[in-house]
Structure 1
Amino acid sequence: MKKSLIYLLIVSVSFTSCNREDLQNGTSPIEIVQKDPLNSKQINEKINGTIRSGERFSWQKSADHFVWSAIFNGNKIASVGFGTSGNDFDRSLSSDSERIQNDILELIEQYEGKAASRVLMTADPYLNQMDVIIEKQETIIALRKMKNIRYVEPADYHYFENERKFSGTAKSSGSSSGCGLESNALASTDYSTVSPNAKAPWSFAKHNITTAWNYSTGAGITVGVIDSGVSSEQSLLGSSFNNGLSSGRTISKNGVYVDSVWPWSTGYDGSADKCGHGTSMASTIAAPRNNMGQPVGVAYNSSLVTYRAASNVVLDGYHEQNGVKIAFTELGNNTKVKIISMSMGHIFSVGKIEDGVKYAYSKGKLIFCAGGTSTSFTNFVGVIFPAWMSEAQAVTGVKENTSNQKCEVCHSGAEIDFTYQMERSSGNNVPVLSYYNGQTNYVGGSSVATASTAGIAALVWSKNPSWTRDQVLNKMRQSSTYYPNPNSDYGYGNINVLQAVQ
């Protein structure tokens, strides 16, 4: 693969760290060598070159001019994470957070020559993170020198949109939006009928899920789903959530996504799915064991708290990334939620989402994230963000009757923790409820593998309600193919759910 031939002129400039005394004496002079920003094509080529070389791309490891160029090309909006240490992300645990935030804003005001009201877009109520408007390269350089800055990143740089513009397709795990509102009739070989008249997907037998229901159905456990929302037209994920053998549970639908190309727009557009992906994930986890001849979910007696946090699976813009951050923090603060499932991601780290994941994890949540799904020729990307984080359990999909043969569009790598069989030799995937009432569909990739594994965790936790997150996780590992020696690319492999709940 031809590597990027972009070379940035980087000149080291020495100057002291910014502090309150510096600000009182005026802004420190900063020499600018490269005055014009790179264009978005140059930025994408640099990112792609880094990833193709086998490294993870990181804004923190990038030069000041490169970061500023991406901010400049992203509506001049920057995301700033601050704190007294790299892990000082929780505002409630930081006695100095207000002072540090004010110091940062004062520095930005002086370098930008603007009042705080024209600089600050939003400050997160739970995290040491804020979004600010920055035009000048000098401001970025000065910010990144402050000792209490954890990261400064572009908050609205559209990597995938630029890839589509320059090459016609997004060369990444997000090469598809994951959306689709179509319905498909199910092949009779792809399910078995269980009482009272529900369709159990073929994959359930492969993981001993239907047999495990004799011990646990997920009752008493609430799973949070961060995705594109849930269809308002699917009654089995609405008014009939307690149909058939599913009872005594709730589904709560929330919307934290602003549907606008303008980052400064406000106003959430509701909880209803407009993509179809979120509906499929909710169905996979907890569709009722119904009497309507429709597919049933893994943990059919679990409750759901769903979030419409993005328009699709590609977390490519300000509102998508902000929505996911908000969903993680709100689910972290929801004491009823024990498990969080997210089948969306990015090919590089997003600081505010990383903070959100860490925040939810610090609240005891067991987090499952998709390892990545793309067209086969772009699988070089490897495990995507935030699945690669240590706070998340990364899941990928494998072919039927295997634990180390990834599906045609699935990613693998050292960060994978579990696998799920979701691709048949026929090419068919896992049956789920359709976006539309009374209809069915198939869903595949690491997305359905992740949601299915989150449902399995609900079965294990329901069987052992007094257990901690680590106890649940250890039981899942102990019941998997490669325990106690995980595979280098597929983690602990497939889970024997019957063993996990006995």
Structure 2
Amino acid sequence: MKKNVFYLMMLFLVFTACNREDVQNNPANIEVAQKDPLGSKEINEKINETIKTKGKFSWKESSDHFVWSAIFQGNKIASIGFGSSFDRDLDPNNAAIENEILDLIKKYEGKTDRILLSSDKYLNQIDVAIEKQETIIALRKMKNIRYLEPADYRYFENENKYNGTAAKSSGSSSGCGFESTALNAADYTTVTPNAKAPWSFAKHNITSAWNYSTGAGVTIGVIDSGVSPEQSLLGSSFNNGLSSGRTISKNGVYVDSVWPWSTGYDGSADKCGHGTSMASAMAAPRNNQGQPVGVAYNANLVTYRAASNVVLDGYHEQNGVKIAFTELGNNNNVKIISMSMGHIFSVGKIEDGVKYAYSKGKLIFCAGGTSTSFTTFVGVIFPAWMPETQAITGVKENTSNQKCDVCHSGAEIAFTYQMERASGSNIPVLSYYNGQTDYVGGSSVATASTAGIAALVWSKNPSWTRDQVLNKMRQSSTYYPTKNSDYGYGNINVLQAVQ
């Protein structure tokens, strides 16, 4: 009797194993419970509901049908992370695994052409065309798949379509716009040789810190919407006034097309205005033209036009940001990376890019989030919530724990920056246009300004590691050594940080 039971168990295990193998190798054996994809409205509603109830949404925790539906509604393009590591150099089997994935897709899709859209040369990540739900089910069973996500599902575009709301993860004062605004005299002080130091500099002791450090010798990488070709103080006059011996390099890795298969970057020029404001806040020259100066006025900049605006919605924006992170990671001159853009849920390829840059020793600052409409229910946004980044948010003048009217807060916040006055004024910056000024707000400018502060600290201590710079910033902040539950270490006393 015992022998018979043993044989029955062995037969069951063999039968089960064979069935699993058949499922992997025979598309006919994949059973689909729901054959029709969800609509984009249903998908968005489910995402919103999950964030409201659980705090975060993840494709990894979603059903096969839900993931396939979003891929189907997003130009049928999927992003796949694979292997034992995000870094190709750390995974000797990456080529074999990639080929295995592509072979499976070809088998289930029943075709061999127009499957692979792109294969990243630094990351274990590919973008592929997938139409069938059976393909998704089979791929998600593979042990070498780290993630499988929609690569072109446009959450913000759909939210705007169904709710009629302006989708921004950044406030109206720090989203796209080419406005120029005359500065209120109360919002700046004039410093030699004739530059306007924003009111916030005195609050953080930045002008006093310039006696010890001006950011010289440190290079900041900026991932944003580019830099205005018309603003000479962020171009040919980058070394105007007391700024000298430094460089600004402008790069473009964004493809301006709604079609994922399109190629060809559209240049480094800002077509939004946001990136220009961020570059100004962190490193505009200490000029003699009566224009606003940046925090680290002698730091170098390497700017990337990686997206068209501040919400990373769609294939080319997410791909551009991934490329910018990997290229900045491989740039040995860059010590700091600042990005004042994001998404309300994680994007695998961007996550890989952030981890790659972090593995190369970069100190990364990301905006904690800014909302003026439907995303007010969201906490700290992606990728600021990642442990590899320092999440920054904006607070009201003379406080460390009163967030700006449109800023996000949460446990992941590392530092705060005062950027909103009682009068409603934000931070003075260079305009998109020569000889003109503007204001910018939200967690965006708080992030760019904090990246500038990090440059001052690192310039004062050029032999320091990323962790030493970060620790000095923490030690010079409001709440050190105990973080505030929603505002991290609070405001940085920059003079203390550079002494």
| Counterparts of 1:172 and 1:299, CA distance in 2 | 28
Give, as a single letter, the amino acid of the residue that structure 1 aligns with 2:435: G
**1:337–1:17: structure 2 CA closer, same or farther, 3 Å change rule?**
farther
Aligned with 1:144 (options 136, 140, 145)? 140
Aligned partner of 1:8 in structure 2 is none
Map Cα deviations across residues 203-237 of structure 1 (whole Å, 9 max, x no partner).
Answer: 00000000000000000000000000000000000
**1:184–1:15: structure 2 CA closer, same or farther, 3 Å change rule?**
farther
The alignment partner of 1:53 has SS state of helix
Aligned with 2:389 (options 388, 392, 396)? 392
CA contact 1:119–1:133 (8 Å) conserved in 2: yes
CA contact 1:201–1:295 (8 Å) conserved in 2: yes
**1:377–1:316: structure 2 CA closer, same or farther, 3 Å change rule?**
closer
Map Cα deviations across residues 103-147 of structure 1 (whole Å, 9 max, x no partner).
Answer: 0000000000111x4200000000000000000000000000000
Aligned with 1:418 (options 402, 415, 418)? 415
Aligned partner of 2:259 in structure 1 is 262
- 1:64 maps to 2:67: no
**1:30–1:304: structure 2 CA closer, same or farther, 3 Å change rule?**
same
Aligned partner of 2:189 in structure 1 is 192
Aligned partner of 1:306 in structure 2 is 303
Aligned partner of 1:450 in structure 2 is 447
The alignment partner of 1:118 has SS state of coil
| Counterparts of 2:180 and 2:59, CA distance in 1 | 40
| Counterparts of 1:453 and 1:172, CA distance in 2 | 22
Give, as a single letter, the amino acid of the residue that structure 2 aligns with 1:426: S
Aligned partner of 2:156 in structure 1 is 160
| CA drift at 1:15 | 7.8
CA contact 1:332–1:360 (8 Å) conserved in 2: yes
- 1:126 maps to 2:122: yes
For residues 356-375 of structure 1, the aligned pairs below 5 Å read 356-375=353-372
The alignment partner of 2:29 has SS state of coil
Aligned partner of 2:10 in structure 1 is none
State the structure with more CA Rg: 2
| CA drift at 1:52 | 1.3
Aligned partner of 1:6 in structure 2 is none
Q: Relative to structure 2, which stretch is displaced further, 272-281 or 171-180?
A: 171-180
| CA drift at 1:376 | 6.9
CA contact 1:174–1:346 (8 Å) conserved in 2: no
Aligned partner of 2:33 in structure 1 is 33
Give, as a single letter, the amino acid of the residue that structure 1 aligns with 2:59: W
| Counterparts of 2:319 and 2:16, CA distance in 1 | 33
**1:390–1:15: structure 2 CA closer, same or farther, 3 Å change rule?**
farther
Map Cα deviations across residues 296-343 of structure 1 (whole Å, 9 max, x no partner).
Answer: 000000000000000000000000000000000000000000000000
| Counterparts of 2:392 and 2:243, CA distance in 1 | 27
For residues 316-355 of structure 1, the aligned pairs below 5 Å read 316-355=313-352
Aligned with 1:432 (options 429, 434, 441)? 429
Map Cα deviations across residues 335-379 of structure 1 (whole Å, 9 max, x no partner).
Answer: 000000000000000000000000000000000000000117743
| Counterparts of 2:19 and 2:272, CA distance in 1 | 46
| Counterparts of 2:225 and 2:408, CA distance in 1 | 21
| Counterparts of 1:34 and 1:490, CA distance in 2 | 44
| CA drift at 1:55 | 2.4
Aligned partner of 1:494 in structure 2 is 491
CA contact 1:17–1:146 (8 Å) conserved in 2: no
CA contact 2:171–2:441 (8 Å) conserved in 1: no
The alignment partner of 2:236 has SS state of coil
Aligned partner of 1:4 in structure 2 is none
**1:25–1:129: structure 2 CA closer, same or farther, 3 Å change rule?**
closer
| Counterparts of 1:286 and 1:376, CA distance in 2 | 30
CA contact 1:433–1:440 (8 Å) conserved in 2: yes
| CA drift at 1:172 | 6.5
- 1:271 maps to 2:265: no
Aligned with 2:458 (options 443, 447, 461)? 461
Give, as a single letter, the amino acid of the residue that structure 1 aligns with 2:492: I
| Counterparts of 1:18 and 1:306, CA distance in 2 | 53
Q: How many residues align?
A: 484
Give, as a single letter, the amino acid of the residue that structure 2 aligns with 1:38: L
| Counterparts of 1:480 and 1:399, CA distance in 2 | 16
Map Cα deviations across residues 250-276 of structure 1 (whole Å, 9 max, x no partner).
Answer: 000000000011111110000000000
| CA drift at 1:44 | 0.4
Aligned partner of 2:290 in structure 1 is 293
CA contact 1:17–1:147 (8 Å) conserved in 2: no
The alignment partner of 1:442 has SS state of strand
Cα RMSD of the aligned pairs, angstroms, is 1.7
For residues 21-100 of structure 1, the aligned pairs below 5 Å read 26-27=26-27, 29-84=29-84, 88-100=85-97
CA contact 1:67–1:153 (8 Å) conserved in 2: yes
Give, as a single letter, the amino acid of the residue that structure 1 aligns with 2:122: Y
Q: TM-score, normalised by structure 2?
A: 0.95
Map Cα deviations across residues 37-65 of structure 1 (whole Å, 9 max, x no partner).
Answer: 00000000000101111421000000000
Give, as a single letter, the amino acid of the residue that structure 2 aligns with 1:473: L
The alignment partner of 2:361 has SS state of coil
CA contact 2:82–2:98 (8 Å) conserved in 1: yes
| Counterparts of 1:182 and 1:251, CA distance in 2 | 24
Aligned with 1:219 (options 210, 216, 220)? 216
| CA drift at 1:26 | 4.3
Map Cα deviations across residues 9-59 of structure 1 (whole Å, 9 max, x no partner).
Answer: xxxxx986999x769954461111100000000000000101111421000
Give, as a single letter, the amino acid of the residue that structure 2 aligns with 1:232: P
Give, as a single letter, the amino acid of the residue that structure 1 aligns with 2:78: A
**1:255–1:15: structure 2 CA closer, same or farther, 3 Å change rule?**
farther
Map Cα deviations across residues 413-434 of structure 1 (whole Å, 9 max, x no partner).
Answer: 0000000000000000000000
CA contact 1:68–1:140 (8 Å) conserved in 2: yes
Give, as a single letter, the amino acid of the residue that structure 2 aligns with 1:371: G
Runs of 5+ unmatched residues, structure 1: 1-13
Runs of 5+ unmatched residues, structure 2: 1-14
| Counterparts of 2:447 and 2:171, CA distance in 1 | 19
| Counterparts of 1:215 and 1:334, CA distance in 2 | 27
Aligned partner of 1:479 in structure 2 is 476
Aligned partner of 2:11 in structure 1 is none
Map Cα deviations across residues 373-411 of structure 1 (whole Å, 9 max, x no partner).
Answer: 011774320100000000000000000000000000000
| Counterparts of 1:295 and 1:420, CA distance in 2 | 18
CA contact 1:172–1:347 (8 Å) conserved in 2: no
Give, as a single letter, the amino acid of the residue that structure 2 aligns with 1:220: G
Give, as a single letter, the amino acid of the residue that structure 2 aligns with 1:439: Q
